[in-house]
Structures are given as structure tokens and as C-alpha cells.
A = this chain, B = another copy of it.
């Protein structure tokens, strides 16, 4: 079944690209469900007072009478006017003849830039030599007959031109102007298109049901990052959930079989760069599915919805276990667009005389690890010293340069024996221009340090002009076999869920739950794209007894808060699993935007503020009364409070 559906996808994706751009009419029905279909282009000018968009006009429109609506982008010598709409730019010729009424000239010549006008006229060829091949509409212009000023523009806080740089704070304050930029239009439209294709794939091709789940919910156990909403009942609060996790599992118990939702989620993390207090995930849950089923579904989903202006997605995605990812990349979200993998060189250096390596190897869990930075010396042989220093506080890192004087040049490195050097060169395939970074210590810690250095070095090399990470490459990766539990940070003797308490244990490890739970692997899987986690999910526990054991005995959670879910598992819950994709991050990577704020229409600043409308804001205390709450002013804010009182009780 899966194989058949994968085969079908390239065709499906092709159709989807077409459907996204065309209008569809069924022409004639043949036997056997075969239809002849006529495809027309998407209708952007239906229902409104224009005949065309500015950006769509071409030589094929020559001679047509058109009516356009748009913004004045700029004006040249009172003869040419460039009109802009979401679709693009078009040149309008302002008539110079005496017969033209004065008010038309006045509108076209005097209205400020960014004013909104409607013009009607004829599509004509530009005079020979005046074509603009850089402009999609560059072969034609509009000979205007009538014009109407729909709205005049006052003096702008900044010019709406892509080449004019603005601070992000200014862009967010005047977001409605920033949205007029080519880049924001592209990002938001690509997002809309891609989500639409995802819906087609899930809903129309694979029978998923789009179901809305509540956002006014209750606190979940451990949900310390949930916004609270006072209700009209004294002391009772709703919470905004971090995900529809409980609801999607309950929908499976309810027999909905295949659920998806483009779900708004909330997480109050205070100030965090490149996080948003509200974000969107493609939320999916299926009954009777296993890990492979979810993985094939998601690969198909991304392949089908992938923008047609990018290289197609190749499936299936490669997969690494959590342990492999850590050992080779020092992270559970490896950027697999480039190499520089971590290599265990403990065996080569077993007899080293270098002090900190010797120390490390003498310990039971001690290892020596290294990464080889290809062409690391190309532009500056000392380049990584400063970076390495910033890590030496937590872990000693030793840079080694094979090239300089054909000997290994760092003082400590010189104590590495000749046979060890040649062993290293063989094992790590070291070349002349490379730099090797060594560290020693406990496996996980050593990997983690080198994993961070690997990314830092890649940034440095790219800042110096090398291309390590092809910007057109999208490197997907599954990371699987995570541990089910981690030691609690504040109390390492106790366990907490590595992801969430509903994750099913790996079938091979079930018995370990009762003996060595810390060794149990889970059926959790993460989807990683170019080193960012863009999704995660798991097969869930559908057995009520197992769920109770994990919650109450292993995690010591208060099961009362989850009694409805435990009860639901008792009443014929099917085996089920799911996944959630972080939409903002995914679109950010696809568009190559520098921040997720560039793929969200009205994002909050990193402090959680809406700089345009000034949210959050003060409220008169009488508006809090129906909710039976009052503000607890911090002791040191009395002055602030009294000034606020002025403000809010006006």
C-alpha cells in the first residue's frame, strides 16, 4: 500500500502544482472514471473593479483595454508612472496631449508615491529599445485614458522599496507597510500555497479529517509554560495549550481514524529570540499506524507540498538513531548538508603522553573525539583559536594543524607520537589544509562540544567564502530511538519524560521498564531539516495499565489531572500515533528567511510585544473585576504603578 502510494506521488504533486495555479473545468466524462479536464489560470480579478493585475500583463495582452488598481511605486519626468500590486509592476504612460483633462494629469503627476489609484487604458508595446527585460511586464506599457485617485498617501516613515534597509523594530511598528515588500508577499503567499497543498494531500488524497480542537483548556501536568486565562468563576482558570496532544489522542479513541489540524499553539517562554508566544503546527494523528507509516506519510506530504520553484524532495529520508546522531554530530538535530563528522580516536591515542587526553582515557567512560575541518586553514590558519577558547571553559579542545612546517604545530600536539599522527591521518582522512580539533572526556559531553564547534566552524568557513551548505539543498533526516526518560535536571535520581508521558516505549525494551527504565528507548521520532528540528512525534501508549504505570510509578505525576485520558484508554482505544510539524520554522527554512518573524504576518517581538498595536497593554482594574483577579504589583514598582493608574483610569 505504501509503495503504491509513493509511486503515485510524483504525479500527484505535479497535478497539485497545476491546480494551485489554474482554474478547473470538467469538460467531458469518459468511462472508467477518466475525465478530460480543462485547466485555466487562477482568477485574481474576479468580483472586483479591475480587469487584470498589474503584474500579469504581457505582449499577449497588446491592444486590450484594461483597468488596473495599485500603488504608485515611482514616477519619472511626469511621463512614466510605475504602478504596483501584489502581482508585480507595470509602467503607465501619462498622456501628454492637450485633450486630456486636467484632473487626470493632476492625479497622475501630483499624487504622492504609495497613493492608491485606478487607471484604465490600452496595453501598448514599448517603443523599440525601451523594453525592460528585467521586468516581467517590460515589453508593454499602459496608455492611460482615465484615472482615479482612490486614496492619497501621507508622508511615510520609510520608503516601501526592497533596497531601502529598515530596522526590524520599525518594520514591525509599521507592519502594514512592510507587508508590501516583495519578500513578505512572497513568504506569506508561499506559506498559504504550501499549507493548501498539505491539506489537499491529507484531506483529499488520504482521507484525513480536519478537526478543530479547543484552545481554552486546562493546565496539563508539567505545563509550566502555559498562558492562563481567568474565567468568570472565582479562582478558576483556563489555559492555552502548548499542543492539541490530549485532544488528538482522544479523537483516535473516538474513532476519527485520521486527524489533522493546522493548529495554533501557545507557549509562554518569556523573552526568547526567534520564538513566538503563539505558533502554528501541522498536527497529525492516525489510528492503527506504526513509526514507518507516519514517516512515509510525512515524506509524501512534504514531497507533495514542496514549492515547485525548489528542487524536488527525495524520499525516503535518511534516518539516524539518537545514539548515532550524538556520536557523529554531537546533537539530536544534525545538519547533514556537510560532513566534518565526529570521530572517536580513543584507540589511536591510547598510549598518548598528552596530559588531558591521558587523564580522560584513564577514566572508565573516557574517550577522545575529533573533527577534521576540511580546508580549515585556507584563509587563516589561526582562525579557530578564538572560537576554541570560548569552549575551553567547559571542555578542553586542542586544535592541530597538519600543514604548518609539515609538522603538527600546536605545542601540545607536538607531543603526539609519529605513529599516532599517521594513525590519525588515516582514520580521519586528514589533508594538508585541514585543521583537526580534538577533545577528551565522557562520550556525550565530548560529542556535544565538538558538535557545537562543528557548526561554528562551518559558519566561519562560510564567512570566509567557502560554500559548505548549498543554499538550494534541503537535507531531511529522521532521528529515531530516543531514550524514553531522562534524569530530572533538578534531581537526577528521578526520571522525567524525554518528550511527553504519552510516548510508547520501544517494543524491544518493554521489559526494561520494570528493571532499568532509564535504558528504555521510545517510539519517538524527530524530523530534522538542515540542522533544525521541524517536527516530532511518536507512537502513543494505548494501554491504560501501561500509561498508569508510567505516569504514577515512574514519573510520580498526579494522575487525577489526566483521569479523562486514562479512562479513555480503558474504553477501546485503538493503537495510534502521530506527529506535529512546526510550520513557522519549516516555512522559514523553505523561504530562506532570516527569522520566523519573516514568515508570520503579525509577529511579536522577541519580548512578546506587538510593536504595531502595543500589546500587551494596561487595563482599567474594573475590567479585571468580572474575572476576580487583581494585579500583584511587584514591591519595587510602586512608582510605575501610580503612573499606570493615571493612565488606565483616565
Contacts and interface: CB of A to CB of B under 8 A. Distances in A.
A488 interface: no
Contact of A601 (B12, B48, B211, B633): B211
B631 A601 contact: no
A285 to B, nearest CB: 12
Majority DSSP secondary structure for residues of A touching B = mixed
B71 A572 contact: yes
A132 to B, nearest CB: 22
A266 B278 CA distance: 15
A237 interface: yes
B288 A572 contact: no
A211 B229 contact: no
Nearest to A573: B151
Contact of A288 (B20, B118, B250, B257): B118
Contacts of A24: 11-12, 15, 204-205
A235 B49 CA distance: 47
Q: Report the interface size class on chain A.
A: 35 or more
B601 A153 contact: no
A185 B209 CA distance: 10
Contact of A229 (B71, B176, B228, B618): B228
Contacts of A296: 47
A5 B47 CA distance: 9
Nearest to A648: B235
Interface stretch (A386-394, A462-470, A620-628): A620-628
Given A42-B205, A47-B289, A254-B179, A35 B33 contact: no
A161 B233 CA distance: 36
Copies of this chain assembled into the complex: 2
Given A37-B37, A246-B613, A254-B175, A600 B212 contact: yes
Interface string A116-137: 1010000000000000000000
A508 to B, nearest CB: 18
A293 interface: yes
Nearest to A295: B47
A51 interface: yes
A260 B153 CA distance: 26
Interface in A571-587: 571-575
Contacts of A152: 572
Contacts of A232: 268, 270, 608
Interface string A594-608: 000000111010001
A80 to B, nearest CB: 19
Contact of A602 (B214, B255, B293, B634): B214
A154 interface: yes
A487 interface: no
A572 B114 contact: yes
A617 B237 contact: yes
Given A2-B46, A176-B250, A575-B150, A11 B26 contact: yes
A515 B180 CA distance: 38
A216 B633 contact: no
B114 A571 contact: yes
A531 interface: no
A38 interface: yes
A219 B616 CA distance: 9
A446 B220 CA distance: 53
9 contacts: A5-B47, A14-B26, A71-B255, A86-B257, A189-B209, A216-B266, A235-B641, A237-B616, A246-B613
